[in-house]
Amino acid sequence: MASSAVDQKALGNFAAVTSHENPFLSAMLYKILGLSVMLSRKLLRARRLRKLDPTRETKSLQLYHHIIWLSREGLLLLEEYILPMVETYVELKVLTYKLRASFYHIFVLFHNQPAIHPPGIFSLPAPSLVGAMGAESISITPPLLSTTNPLPQPRHHHPPGLGPVQPPRSASSFLLPGLDYTPTATACFNHAAVLADKMLPGSHPLRLSVKLEYAAYLYDCLHDSDACRRLAKQAIADVYNAQEGMDDESFEDAAEIVGILGKMVKRGGKTSSAGGGSSSTTAGDDSRSVSTKHDTRLTTPTRELKPTGSTAGSGDLAPAVPDPTMMNPI
């Protein structure tokens, strides 16, 4: 996600290239890079903790709050300062729209209402309760109702005279409002994927990074394993059909991502999105197939950040985060 090693490397390169022609954009990219480095460490810690009950005061709750705060500040920098200035760039434009989807991805994982994962602590199920108390001690007698004049059923699930019970507010509601962020996150991923398909070749590491996190989002957040596998298969097929040359560094990045995509296809997309593309998983059979596919990867020089005309509409989405909660950028 926002902590992907491929994304961090590209952010550093773009920040260095734009330091002379656009110092303000370069400074914002460096800030996003710093946020990404901090998020990468915290997201790795949260991989095993995010399924705990987020309403209890635990150490993991403080970690979640820090992740949400960093993501909120990163989204503010992107939407307010960076996105308006990247329309004339190719790779940087795809990367920034992908990072916007990544931040919403984090909101869905750790702050969505309703939560996409059930809490880790549940009440005792009925069979256990019955076994503990004894089956003979619990007797449920059905009420004697008249078949001709049945009693009216109550229309409420609370005691008479009392209002409905409001669900408790999320402990992190002081950082972000408790909303359903899945529609916005899905729209952001769709837009980033369309830009990547239109502006980048099939084997480009940034295009593969978009598809990798999109597939992880489909499985982890939308629980759509079939769509996850289809997306991963299509991304791998695009790499096989690509004809452009690659330098060694780009080839290594692409081979690693293809290896992870291959594992997601075989395992139904079980790769955790909290680790994102920065997973240390080694490339498998798919990456070895890529190495035989691109024997001529050194025929072209390394791609550089180059300006171009506006080839695709920005398709800006209204931020799901209200302005009053995001008034203090880093």
CATH number for the domain that contains residue 104: 1.20.190
147 within a domain of the structure (yes/no): no
Helices (H), 125-244: 126-133, 182-199, 205-220, 225-241
329 within a domain of the structure (yes/no): no
146 within a domain of the structure (yes/no): no
Stretch 32-52: mean pLDDT, rounded?
A: 81
74 within a domain of the structure (yes/no): yes
| pLDDT score, position 20 | 93
91 within a domain of the structure (yes/no): yes
30 within a domain of the structure (yes/no): yes
Model confidence at 190: pLDDT above 90: yes
Please choose, from the candidates 304, 214, 203, the residue with its C-alpha nearest in 3D space to the C-alpha of residue 255.
203
Please choose, from the candidates 84, 105, 67, 309, the residue with its C-alpha nearest in 3D space to the C-alpha of residue 190.
105
| pLDDT score, position 266 | 84
127 within a domain of the structure (yes/no): no
pLDDT band at 60 (very low <50, low <70, confident <90, very high): confident
For 49, the token pair is: 């903790």
How many angstroms separate the Cα of 175 from the Cα of each of 30, 78, 226, 284?
Answer: 24, 18, 34, 41
* H helix or E strand, kind and range, residue 261: helix 248-267
By the 8 A CB rule, do 10 and 32 touch?
no
Q: For 119-172, write each residue's pLDDT tens digit.
A: 544 444 444 444 444 444 434 344 444 444 444 454 555 566 666 655 555 656
Tell the residue number behind the tokens 């005279």, with chain if given.
161
Q: For 92-107, write each residue's pLDDT tens digit.
A: 999 999 999 999 999 9
Q: For 314-328, write each residue's pLDDT tens digit.
A: 445 544 444 433 333
224 C-beta neighbours (distance < 10 Å), count: 16
319 within a domain of the structure (yes/no): no
| pLDDT score, position 200 | 93
Q: For 202-252, write each residue's pLDDT tens digit.
A: 999 999 999 999 999 999 899 999 999 999 999 999 998 888 878 888 889
Q: For 270-329, write each residue's pLDDT tens digit.
A: 444 444 433 333 334 444 444 444 444 433 333 444 444 444 444 455 444 444 333 333
Tell the residue number behind the tokens 């449920």, with chain if given.
140
Pick the more confident residue, 210 or 45.
Answer: 210
| pLDDT score, position 272 | 45
Residue 88's SS3 state is: coil
| pLDDT score, position 62 | 82
| pLDDT score, position 50 | 53
Structural domain of 244: 5-119+171-301
Q: What's at 160, amino acid-wise?
A: P
| Least trusted range by pLDDT, from 52-61, 124-133, 168-177 | 124-133
Instruction: Report how many domains make up the chain.
Output: 1
**Facing residues of 68 across strands?**
none
